[in-house]
Amino acid sequence: MIMIYLATFNWGWLLASGLVGLAMGWIAVVHRGRGWSTTTLRKVAVLIVALILAAVFHLAPGRAGYWLDLGLVMFAAYVIGCAVGSWLRSLVVARYAAAG
């Protein structure tokens, strides 16, 4: 029920986070820097899982829980936008390479 509320009243923010993710996925295809270490990736994954579990079990009541839910949904929209942007960019680059 809370997700319907979030989507209904915060659709603009969700759309904006998805569009920013799309733009970041489009421009961030080329990676020349060092990536995160395995330890850092594990810590971030544990943090995200802990936040999701806190949202699922309603450990943050009231306004804090609302902001937690909204933040997680916006993060998901951003990550999905990044994936779509990267995928679209790879399609464009593949077509350009095949034509040239």
Q: How far is CA 60 from CA 7, 35, 72, 85, in A?
A: 20, 32, 13, 33
Predicted pLDDT at 28: 84
Task: Name 41's Cβ contacts closer than 8 Å, sequence gap at least 6.
Answer: none
| Per-residue pLDDT tens digits of the chain, which is 100 residues long | 667 887 899 999 999 999 999 999 999 866 677 888 999 999 999 999 999 999 999 999 999 999 999 999 999 999 999 999 999 998 888 777 777 6
What pLDDT shows up at residue 36? 85
Amino acid at site 10: N
As to burial, measured by CB atoms within 10 angstroms (0-12 exposed, 13-18 middle, 19+ buried), residue 14 is: middle
